[in-house]
Amino acid sequence: MKKGERIRLRFVFGALGCVPVFLAGWLGWLQVGQRGQILRDGKAPLRLVAATADRQAEAVEVMPQPRGSIVDRHGSVLAVDCEVYDVRARISVPAKEGKSCAALRSWLAEVADDFARAMVADTSLSDRGESQRLYRERFRGSLAKAFRTDRLPADGPVPADQPRVADVRIAGAVDVLAVVDALREVGERRGSVSMHFLRSWQRSYPERESTYGIVGHVDSRWTVDEAGAVPKLTTFGACGLEALAALLPDEAVTRTSLRDGKGLTYFRAPVDAVARPNVVHSTLDIDLQRIAVRELAAQAEAGAREGKVTIPQWGALILVEMATGDVLAAASWHRDGKHPEAAAFTPYQMLYEPGSIVKPLVFAYALEAGALDWSHSFDCAPGSSDYRERIGSVGNRVVRDDHACGVLTPHGILVNSSNIGASYVGLQLEREQWHDYMRFYGFGAPLNLHVPFESRGGAEKSFDPSIPVRSFRRNSAISFSFGYEMHVTAMHIARAYLRLFRGASADLRLCRGVDVDGTWLPVPTDPGGGAKFRPDVVDAVREAMVDVVSDDPHATGAVMHGRMLKELGVDLHGVIAGKTGTAASRVGLRGGGKMEVRNASFVGFLPAHDPRWLAVCVLQKDDRARFYGGSYAAPPAVRLLLQTQSLEERRMLQREPQVGAGGQTRTASGSPGDSGWSR
């Protein structure tokens, strides 16, 4: 081969070798160097005008962590995070469909119809046809707005500046898998529609109607600081158990995705660092909670059904396990049927004057302090020498009873609920002792339930040093004796009786413990320390409360005893012990002025001679009609106690081992932890 030919061949092969290098460099320049320009239209959503090539970009998405769950004492779910999806679609108009305005509108209508059909893939919809029609109208409107088709002529070529790509939000909080699959199929069938499913969480309350106030509710929103940093999930409006710190998630987690210059996501990395959500184990028993809600509502609404004026304004009913202080049930009722967002839960938020249900507490304290002789008899007649000497000597204060009582021992005073007799006992206590009485029972002190909006109550003004002792004796010492001049919640009363039987360190408990990443962290119960009443003091007061619930015509629980005997065929004497209370008060109104209200309350426990469960019920109305604790507040509390015992007996039978063939045993079906037959 000649020298000239060799030179020409080398030049040709060299030029050919430069072609791949040039193409690689050119493509790299197009891929990386050229960037799309982001434009923002005042009436259209954000759109991307692609340059001569796609670009690769990494995007970081922020999403919340699961909040955690709340369960009852047996593991039934009360609040949980459900996985949901925020669905978006990146829609690109095909070249063929984007030539004429009529073709563009027709194609967009078809896409909207596809989305509408996918959204009604939920078979639980009662009227799928109507739902599909509404979805179709909604999607056609959103696509028309995104692609600005309202500005286009009826037909003719599509203008050059017409948007060809749009990002449209299809739905939020989609939790039906059939809908997710149907939407995903739309994207697979239409190559120009790219579906994106962004995972998030939605709070669900399976027992919302029964647990609204005690479990609470929560509203979470994304917030961004002034510097525009990474958004944070901020919780608003949390109340009840939802406000516990154990349910507040840490910083939001992130996940990474890769997007091209047209905004299409073609790779998504897995979510990073999603922590295992905590589980709060409440003390509630959902079966008992349902019973409490039902019984309270039935009693509160009974007056309306019977055409009476004794319709309460609000009510509360709680059930406590005496051995632990666990709140097993807490029901709330409002006359308007609605729960205000900030003050929804009557058992620990609504204050009232308790009336005579505090008398056993007063007598126990006075007996323990040596200010009361249990065998002494008092003449409780208004014009007696005892009355003139004990009550008349402190001033012109008038104390009355609902019925003539005569000569009574402390036991009889509690059974008859004599205000005059209670005043005799209260006047035996000094102001410092009354102050200690309030501290011992926890009146005016926090409930330590660790939930927001707890009311403290109390009677702090009565102990102001500027108030003369004589004035204190004439007013507060007498009023305290039968539950006036002090304000409490139903849970304050429950805690006070818990301390009567268990000591000053006893407290109520709403949370048994928290499961944190598989580690059980229990909430401690009463360790057994603190001052306690002598056993003979507790027994004396308890026996008087046993006789309150009897057929004695002078007992304040006689009406309720007769009603339960007639309705249920149960003789409650010796089965349930309790104390009734009735108080007439004046409460302030928001707009000024005062309104007269009546409070009917009852506290009872079962079994009567060895208390295991304690129930407190209070109903308040705002008119002058007669409204007594024994007639109105006692029945729902008694029914709750009886059904609690019945439910426990059924559960005990389920847990008892049954003997099978060959000496095998197993627990009855339905018992927790049943693993079948065993030797």
Is pLDDT larger for residue 55 or for residue 271? 271
Give the per-residue pLDDT at 36: 38
Closest to 361 in 3D by CA, of 488, 254, 491, 498: 498
Beta strands 613-621 and 594-606 are antiparallel
Give the per-residue pLDDT at 68: 85
Q: Is 104 inside a domain boundary?
A: yes
Give the per-residue pLDDT at 199: 72
The boundaries of the domain holding residue 628 are 286-653
633, 574: one domain: yes
The model's confidence at residue 679, banded by pLDDT at 50, 70 and 90, is very low
28, 89: one domain: no
Give the per-residue pLDDT at 394: 87
Q: Report whether the peptide linkage leading into residue 607 is cis, meaning its omega lies within 30 degrees of zero.
A: yes
* pTM reported for the whole predicted model: 0.77
Decide which of 226, 261, 282 is a domain's last residue: 282
* C-alpha–C-alpha distance, residues 67 and 86, integer Å: 18
494, 622: one domain: yes
412, 459: one domain: yes
User: What's the mean per-residue pLDDT of the chain?
Assistant: 81
Torsion of CA 83, 86, 92, 94, to 10 degrees: 60
CATH number at residue 318: 3.40.710.10
Residue 378 predicted with pLDDT over 50: yes
190, 239: one domain: yes
273, 398: one domain: no
Any idea which of 14-18, 68-72, 432-436, 629-633 has the lowest mean pLDDT?
Answer: 14-18
22, 59: one domain: no
Q: Is 93 exposed, middle or buried (0-12, 13-18, 19+ CB in 10 A)?
A: buried
Question: Token digits for 614?
Answer: 């304690």
490, 560: one domain: yes
260, 303: one domain: no
Residue with tokens 């939930």: 451
Task: Give the Cβ contact number of residue 80 at 10 Å.
Answer: 19
Q: Are 81 and 203 in contact (CB under 8 A)?
A: yes
Give the per-residue pLDDT at 678: 28
Q: Are 339 and 332 in contact (CB under 8 A)?
A: yes
Q: Is 38 inside a domain boundary?
A: no
CATH number at residue 126: 3.90.1310.10
DSSP 266: E
194, 216: one domain: yes
Question: Token digits for 326?
Answer: 């666990």
pLDDT in tens, 605-663: 999 999 999 999 999 988 767 788 998 999 999 999 999 999 999 999 887 665 554 45
Beta strands 77-92 and 69-71 are antiparallel
Q: Are 183 and 195 in contact (CB under 8 A)?
A: yes
* C-alpha–C-alpha distance, residues 528 and 507, integer Å: 11
Q: Are 457 and 493 in contact (CB under 8 A)?
A: no
Report helix, strand or coil for 340: coil
Count how many domains the chain has: 3
Alpha-carbon distance values, 410 to 454, 521, 524 (Å): 35, 46, 37
Q: Is 459 inside a domain boundary?
A: yes
Highest-confidence range of 11-25, 271-285, 540-554, by mean pLDDT? Answer: 540-554
Any idea which of 12-16, 133-137, 321-325, 650-654 has the lowest mean pLDDT?
Answer: 12-16
List, as one string, the DSSP characters of 360-397.
HHHHHHHHHTT---TT--EE--TTSHHHHHHTGGG-S-
Give the per-residue pLDDT at 9: 64
Residue with tokens 């939407």: 183
pLDDT in tens, 536-575: 999 999 999 999 999 999 999 999 999 888 888 889 999 9
Q: Where are the alpha helices (DSSP H) in 217-322?
A: 286-305
- The H-or-E segment that residue 548 falls in is helix 535-548
The mean per-residue pLDDT over the stretch 438-464 comes to 89
Q: Is 659 inside a domain boundary?
A: no
* C-alpha–C-alpha distance, residues 43 and 66, integer Å: 36
The mean per-residue pLDDT over the stretch 15-24 comes to 64
Q: Is 41 inside a domain boundary?
A: no
What amino acid is encoded at 227 in this protein?
A
12, 82: one domain: no
593, 496: one domain: yes
